[in-house]
Amino acid sequence: MRVGISGMGRIGRLALRAAMGAAERPDDDPRRGNRLEVVHLNEIKGGAAACAHLREFDSVQGRWRSTRVAADGPHGLHIGERRLSFSAHAQPADIPWGDLGVDLVLECTGKFLTPARLAGHLQRGAKRVIVAAPVKDDSVLNVVMGVNHRRYDPARHPILTAASCTTNCLAPVVGVIHEAIGIRHGQITTLHNPTNTNVVHDAPHKDLRRARSALLSLQPTTTGSAAAIALIYPELTGKLDGHAVRVPALNASLTDCVFELQRKTTAVEVNALLRASAAGSLAGILGFEERPLVSIDYARDTRSGIVDALSTLVTDGTALKIYVWYDNEMGYACRLVDLACHVREVDSAP
């Protein structure tokens, strides 16, 4: 399966790293050998030279030292011994995926979030599109790897979404707790790093809190990650909600989960459940950490979320608080690649 990436921002660039095996996955990750044959990149800003430079040098994730990256004129890049073609088209329908031999597109622009706007990729020859952002449409399968990826059906899902970084962090934890104990309702707060939707200095923005400098303030804002859990667990529709707070730290993020449970439990039982899942069915996706670490220690972590076991609290038997760390860039980029590899495996099955 030949892959193209449209949108070479934070997630697109890191998905390319992960696709080429440059992400530092843990030894127990059963997907650590996942690779994709990326053949084409599309980005409207900066040209091939800027994209090559930003692939090698990254202020948050560090320099890509293992592989030489260089522009090859305006329409190509060399990454190691491989040449990838490059374009700067603004619309999906302008990218000639069929002529390029691309089967699957990783749509990482963050701009095309409806089936109608994404259809251009399919019309130009791509067979599958995976969107690196939530798509609010029932026809688009909302996938969290390790939780519901087996719902993918090639006959029904030409377009899929890998949900959001926070939903990928939250859903495995919700799944473990809900299936073993039961969740009545809950609320989450994600303390989230700034992204390129934030501003460095005060500037006009429809969200007046995001109009302020991301370098200087904590910024309460919205998140749809908790409500999106209902797409995976319909019985929790209307039972989970949450907020986000953008914080002036570049990496990593933290989700604070508070759940009212259906039966009494203890922090010891909850941690035992999460530890077992992290070592078992969710290895490489969910982590479990008992050391007293801080946010920077989770930078470049490829897992979707890592439970901070020292912070697990249970009050009066049924009120549960869990902290889950996550690198909202690298972890999510790796899940994009894992989902693409899963699609490739299912599509190639006899």
Strand ranges of the sheet holding 141-142, from the earlier edge strand across to the other edge = 69-71, 76-79, 82-87, 37-42, 2-6, 104-107, 128-131, 159-161, 141-142
Other CB atoms within 10 Å distance of the CB of residue 72? 15
Closest residue by Cα to residue 130 from 8, 311, 5, 255: 5
> Helices (H) and strands (E) in the chain — how many of each?
8, 17
The beta strand positions in the chain, using DSSP E, are 2-6, 37-42, 69-71, 76-79, 82-87, 104-107, 128-131, 141-142, 159-161, 183-192, 219-222, 240-246, 253-261, 286-289, 305-308, 313-315, 319-326
Asked if residue 113 lies in contact with residue 135, where contact means CB atoms within 8 angstroms, the answer is yes
**Residues classed as catalytic:** 165
Q: How far apart are CA 17 and CA 107, in angstroms?
A: 16
The count of C-alpha atoms lying within 13 angstroms of the C-alpha of 62, restricted to the half-sphere facing its C-beta, is 9
User: Considering Cα of 213, then 217, then 222, then 226, what sign does the dihedral take?
Assistant: positive
Give one DSSP letter per residue of 12-34, joined into a string: HHHHHHHHTT-S---TT-TTTT-
